[in-house]
Structure 1
Amino acid sequence: MAEPEVDRIVARTWVERWDRQQERYIADREERFRVIGDVVAHVCRDVAAPVVADLGCGPGSLTTRLHERLPSARVVGVDVDPLLLALARATRPDGAAVEYVRAELGSPGWVDALGVGAKWDAAVSTTALHWLDPERLAGVYADLATVLRPGGVFVNGDHLPDEQPAVRELAVVVRDRRAERAGVVDNEEWAAWWTGVRADPDLAEVLTPDELRGTSSGHGNGLSARWHREALLRAGFGEVGVLWQAGDDHVLVAVR
């Protein structure tokens, strides 16, 4: 089946708008991207042509930044949402070794769908895996442990709530105050972005109503950093830890 093709200028407008609305929820989003890039660049420093997978890549915000950071890498973004993938493909840097694949994380054959074989040097994700239920996410971690090379890493940037209620509340306060200081609290909301997308005639010309609807479940799994650590260790990773944190916003790394 042919993938929908969105005009590059239209797509760039919507991706830029996506980035702004995401900053409403992650004031230090660009720093999070840089931290993820720091880890991947270090792990791949002696690899001539690294292979990196971006899980739940959305419209390619992290994928593009990883390409800029590691231009020699083959970066493959995977997502289940056809609209977000269409925006990602339309804004892909010219000539870049960046690919986008439609597949559902954790479903049978999702790893093979990426077409990169083994062994990957890194897998990354940002504000995506909290949409997966715990059983499916544990399966994704088990899959990653089979395809990442020894010394390869999984790096996840996401909101990971603390299991202690008072600490969890304080982490949200820290996040919210940071958003106020950064001036992003009035940025467009996530739901408003989707409403705007569905009303854009330029997108309606190339995407069906189902493709414009969005595929997220609409709620998060609420899993803590400790849950992720334990699940990754059970999956076969050797070391797991938090490298960066601001409030409840974490960058978690697992080393194969």
Structure 2
Amino acid sequence: MPVDAALAETWIERWERQQERYAVEREERFTVVADVVEQVAGHRPRPLVADLGSGPGSLSARIAARLPEAEVLAVDIDPLLLALGRARHPRVARWVETLIGRPGWLDALGLDRPLDAVVSSTALHYPPPRTLLGIYRDLAEVMRPGAVLVNADHLVPEEPPLAELARAVERRRSQRRGADTAEDWSQWWAAAARIPEFAELLAARARQVPPCDGDGNGLSAARHAELLLRAGFRQAGPVWQYGTSAVLVALR
């Protein structure tokens, strides 16, 4: 069910603005992710990078621009977002439709060699801890020694007073930038539902995309790091943070 490229560009631009409402300093966060991937895998010939929960390819496109020789796998379960990404960025990535964490999900990636890097943005705060541990273990088995996992996500401090302050910092930054007045997640999807060209994709989405808790698993950077170490990664910790928006890195 392909989407017209011009239509996809319009809706991805709206997606980018909508996402800025939720991710403070989103572009800087993406830049940090690309910095880490380039530092660790940029010297390798044709590095293999998987973007988990890629959506329409916001992060995949930035990784491909930074590392033109890389092979990028954009992995998501949402048929509409994947169709938008394919139409807007046809040569940026290989688009893979699968539910991350489902038994056998790695088979859909069709890996022909170990991964040099795994990246993700605002996707790994959804799976419950047990599922997330399984995902990290799966990844550890298909990443080469020295490979890197980079997770840009909402990682809230465990201590309530610090969590409250982190959220306040985010809120004030968003108000100064005017991001809190932008179209939100629900409004974007409601508007998309009125586009006739999206009807079949949205019907497929209703069948395939499992409901998720808007608050996610609530895990802090420290809890993510603990799960990563249990899964077989040798080091894990944050390298950048603004409010609750963080970039967590783990080395295989």
TM range (shorter): over 0.9
Amino acid at match of 1:162: P
Aligned to 1:100: 95
Q: How does 1:156-175 map to 2 (within 5 A)?
A: 156-175=151-170
1:59 aligns with 2:53: no
The 4+ residue runs of structure 1 with deviation greater than 4 A are 212-216
Amino acid at match of 1:207: L
Tell me, in whole angstroms, the C-alpha distance in 2 between the residues paired with 1:216 and 1:39. Answer: 32
Give, in angstroms, the shift of residue 184 of structure 1: 1.0
Aligned to 1:87: 84
Tell me, in whole angstroms, the C-alpha distance in 2 between the residues paired with 1:242 and 1:255. Answer: 12
For the residue of structure 2 that corresponds to 1:26, the secondary structure is coil
TM-score, normalised on structure 1? 0.94
Aligned to 1:15: 12
Give, in angstroms, the shift of residue 202 of structure 1: 2.6
Tell me, in whole angstroms, the C-alpha distance in 2 between the residues paired with 1:132 and 1:227. Answer: 13
Tell me, in whole angstroms, the C-alpha distance in 1 between the residues paired with 2:18 and 2:206. Answer: 18
Deviates more, 1:214-223 or 1:132-141: 214-223
For the residue of structure 1 that corresponds to 2:233, the secondary structure is coil
Tell me, in whole angstroms, the C-alpha distance in 2 between the residues paired with 1:232 and 1:212. Answer: 32
Aligned to 1:188: 183
Query: Structure 2 stretches of 5 or more lacking a match?
Result: none
- What is the CA deviation profile of residues 74-126 of structure 1, one whole-angstrom value per residue up to 9, with x for unaligned ones? 00011111111111111114x44x11101111112211211123311000000
- Backbone CA RMSD of aligned residues: 1.4
Q: Is 1:83–1:212's contact at 8 Å kept on the other side of the alignment?
A: no
Give, in angstroms, the shift of residue 216 of structure 1: 4.6
Aligned to 2:147: 152
Give, in angstroms, the shift of residue 185 of structure 1: 1.2
Amino acid at match of 1:249: S
Tell me, in whole angstroms, the C-alpha distance in 2 between the residues paired with 1:150 and 1:201. Answer: 47
Aligned to 1:69: 66
Give, in angstroms, the shift of residue 211 of structure 1: 2.6
Report the count of equivalent residues: 250
Tell me, in whole angstroms, the C-alpha distance in 2 between the residues paired with 1:182 and 1:199. Answer: 29
Give, in angstroms, the shift of residue 129 of structure 1: 1.0
Aligned to 1:197: 192
Within the candidate set 111, 116, 119, 2:114 is matched to 119
Aligned to 1:240: 236
Give, in angstroms, the shift of residue 191 of structure 1: 0.5
Within the candidate set 31, 36, 50, 1:34 is matched to 31
Q: Is 1:198–1:212's contact at 8 Å kept on the other side of the alignment?
A: no
Within the candidate set 243, 246, 251, 2:247 is matched to 251
Q: Is 1:172–1:248's contact at 8 Å kept on the other side of the alignment?
A: yes
Q: Is 2:48–2:71's contact at 8 Å kept on the other side of the alignment?
A: yes
